[in-house]
Amino acid sequence: MSSTQAGAMDNKVPIFVEKTGRVELLDRMEKTDEEWSAILTRDQFGIARKAGTEPAFSNKYYDFHEKGTYHCVCCGTDLFSSDAKFRSGTGWPSFYAPISDLNVKTTVDKTGGMVRTEVLCTRCAAHLGHVFDDGPPPTHKRYCMNSASLRFVKR
């Protein structure tokens, strides 16, 4: 493999695509803050790109019950199915599992005087929210997400 081919592969990331039911190698999506702010609303940019948090109980998807898929607002990656959504009582949309572990990644978040596990979109590194170990079976996880980081597509 040439160095050019190897460099191109470094920019690819395996993502599970719900529509095809397969893992596909997709380009990482990288943009400058200026490029992101041109395509996102102020709230979306502040939350997805700057790791903000929206107010509880007043966001778009916390009490939303349509059937479909939640995608990353920045790059469109399939993130969560409505089938994994549950009412957590926290004021944010909560899921017990992502569509695929390939599509999200986690990192330690020590901001705000707390230690939490931050959830990011694997493809574009958008901040989605946090995951906690107090969810329902079968995973006992609670992916507590920001509505502003998600775009819903109805089945």
31: amino acid identity, one letter: K
Note whether 145 and 59 are within 8 A (CB). Answer: no
Establish whether 72 is a catalytic residue: no
42-71 residues labelled b (16+ CB within 10 A) or e (exposed): ebbbbbbbebebbeeeebebbeeeeeebbb
87 vs 129: CA distance, rounded Å: 16
Annotated catalytic residue: which of 74, 121, 124, 144?
144
- Residue 3: its H or E element: helix 3-10
Which of the 8 DSSP states describes residue 147? G
Half-sphere exposure of 4 (CA within 13 A, CB side): 0
- Catalytic residues, by residue number, are 144
